[in-house]
Amino acid sequence: MIQRLLKSREALLAAAIIGLIAAVATRYPAFAAPVNLAQAFNDTSILIILALAQMTVILTRSIDLSTASNLCFTGMAVAMLNRAHPELPIALIIGVSLLWGLALGAFNGLLVWKIGIPPIVVTLGTLTIYRGLTFVLSGGAWVNADKMSPAFIEFQRQALLGIPVLSWIAIAVIAAFFVFLRYTKLGRDIYAIGVNPTAAVYTGIDVGRTKFIAFCISGLASGLAGYLWISRYVIASVEVANGYELNVIAACVIGGISIAGGVGSVAGTVMGALFLGLIGLALPVINVSPFWQLAISGAAILVAIILNARGEKSQGRLILKKAAQA
């Protein structure tokens, strides 16, 4: 039992998170207070949403480097829409951000599915394209807080049962991904094509189409994150979330998602994101300069991939009888 727990990445990661909280709390008990932890979750919400979508893409043996640019572009689009028409309801804003993000994700997916360009090349290209289009759209200008409607800004901050809407959205997204990846045929197909594309074809799964859908999901999540990010940090500019795609991938890697596809869980990814988020929050508390954060997350990524690789070592074939019986 203990051995099995040790082998489970999720358990290891949960232990690391609890250890981190406990270590900080020994000196600053307030850090472990429920209020603070709820705040930490809220702060990590956007990263969680993006990481879950990225995980879906990575499961299919692909990668989406364009998520942060998609977020930036969509965020700018809805911010400008809000500036021009402050009267539009938030539901519509969210709807637009989802569709906008979906369109960008579908473009990635189509290039991968229909033309067969490697995902890393496609999304490397769209990474610069989407951010460039943000500039074209905005003319390089910012949308500041005073140009955003109160409803636009306040929506995610409203409390529902004492918890901000942003956290509720993250919880809903986690639940949706959990159900989708575990309880739907499409979700299981996503795992199957990552584990063994050949066997997937033998089982009658359309590998290209499934990858396309994964990119669409990634687009949807990036779009939603676009609105949430802009309304959270109340500024829309070309620089928004620059380089953030690597944090997202880092959360996945720390969460135990294998870059080779097919291996990973929603719980792992969420914890990977929380781990990164908590480090960011813990550093100022223990009086370490926030400049340490990047190096620590880099080290965490390396430790995570080394640990993951050790768990995946496959054994050679057993030919000798006595070896087979042992």
1-60 binders of another protein (CB under 8 A) = none
Interacting positions 177-196 with another protein (CB under 8 A): 179, 182-185, 188, 191-192, 195-196
Cβ 145 vs Cβ 153: under 8 Å: yes
The one-character DSSP state at 316 is: -
Asked if residues 253 and 305 have their Cβ atoms less than 8 Å apart, the reply is yes
E strand spans, the chain: 159-160, 163-164
The span from the CA of 146 to the CA of 153, in Å, is: 10
Instruction: Considering only the stretches 83-91, 158-166, 258-266, 277-285, report the one whose residues sit in contact with another protein under the rule CB under 8 A.
Output: 258-266
Nearer CB in complex with another protein: 33/292: 292
Nearer to another protein by Cβ, of 165 and 254: the residue is 254
From 40-48, 92-100, 168-176, 201-209, span contacting another protein (CB under 8 A): 201-209
- Minimum Å distance from CB 39 to another protein? 24
- Single out the residue of 50, 241, 250, 274 in contact with another protein (rule: CB under 8 A): 250
Residue 249 touches another protein, criterion: CB under 8 A: yes
Q: How far is the CB of 194 from another protein (least distance, A)?
A: 8
Among 174, 207, 236, 253, binds another protein (CB under 8 A): 253
Nearer to another protein, 96 or 111 (CB): 111
Non-local CB neighbours of 174 within 8 Å, separated by 6+ positions: 48, 52, 266, 270
CB 130 within 8 A of CB 139: no
**Two tokens at 60?**
């299919």
What 8-state DSSP symbol labels residue 143?
A: B
- Per-position x/- string for 116-155, each x denoting binding to another protein as judged by CB under 8 A, each - no binding: xxx-xxx-xxxxxx-xxx-xx---x---------------
Build a one-symbol-per-residue string for 285-304: x at contacts with another protein by CB under 8 A, - elsewhere: ----x-xxxxxxxxx-xx--
CA distance 256 to 34: 26
Say if residues 264 and 252 touch (Cβ distance below 8 Å). Answer: yes
Give, to the nearest 10 degrees, the angle between helix 67-84 and helix 90-110: 150
Query: Considering CB under 8 A, how many residues would be counted as binding another protein?
Result: 76
In the complex with another protein, the residue whose CB is nearer, 86 or 140, is 140
Shortest spacing between CB 179 and another protein, in angstroms: 7
Q: Write down the residue that tokens 């087979």 correspond to.
A: 324
Residue 263 in contact with another protein, rule: CB under 8 A: yes
